[in-house]
Every structure is written in structure tokens, then in C-alpha cells.
């Protein structure tokens, strides 16, 4: 049973490494595309767009 848990832990650690690498790559791409702080900046931009859309929708309804 312990061996099985160790295999699962190793599998999950590999998955974490992959996700961290992908996030780092995405962050780098976003910075290169002009989002000064990468993921943080695009999240802020997305939330701002959503809020603007909601405000426009409220004006019509």
C-alpha cells in the first residue's frame, strides 16, 4: 500500500511540475504581448471588461 501511495505522490508531483511550467510559459507570453505583469495584468483586464459589460447591461434593463 505504501508503494502505491508513493507512486501516486510521484505522479502528482509530475503533474504539478507540468502545470507550473505551463503557467510560467503563459506568463512569459503575456508579458511579451504587452501585459506588464503577465497573468496578474490579464486577470485585472478581464475583470474590468466583465464589470464594464455588466454596467452596460444594467443601463438597458
Q: Are 27 and 39 in contact (CB under 8 A)?
A: yes
Q: Whole-model pTM?
A: 0.78
Model confidence over 8-51: pLDDT tens digits? 999 999 999 999 999 999 999 999 999 999 999 999 999 999 99
In angstroms, the Cα distances linking 33 to 19, 28, 46, 60 are: 21, 9, 15, 34
| Domain boundaries, given as residue ranges, for the chain | 2-60
| pLDDT score at 46 | 97
Q: Which residue matches cell numbers 455588466?
A: 54
* Distance in angstroms (rounded) separating the CA atoms of residues 50 and 40: 16
| Sequence-ordered alpha helix ranges (H) in the chain | 2-32, 39-60
Amino acid at each position: 500500500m505504501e508503494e502505491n501511495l508513493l507512486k501516486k505522490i510521484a505522479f502528482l508531483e509530475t503533474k504539478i511540475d507540468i502545470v507550473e511550467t505551463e503557467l510560467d510559459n503563459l506568463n512569459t507570453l503575456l508579458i511579451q504581448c504587452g501585459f506588464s505583469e503577465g497573468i496578474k495584468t490579464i486577470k485585472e483586464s478581464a475583470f474590468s471588461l466583465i464589470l464594464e459589460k455588466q454596467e452596460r447591461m444594467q443601463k438597458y434593463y
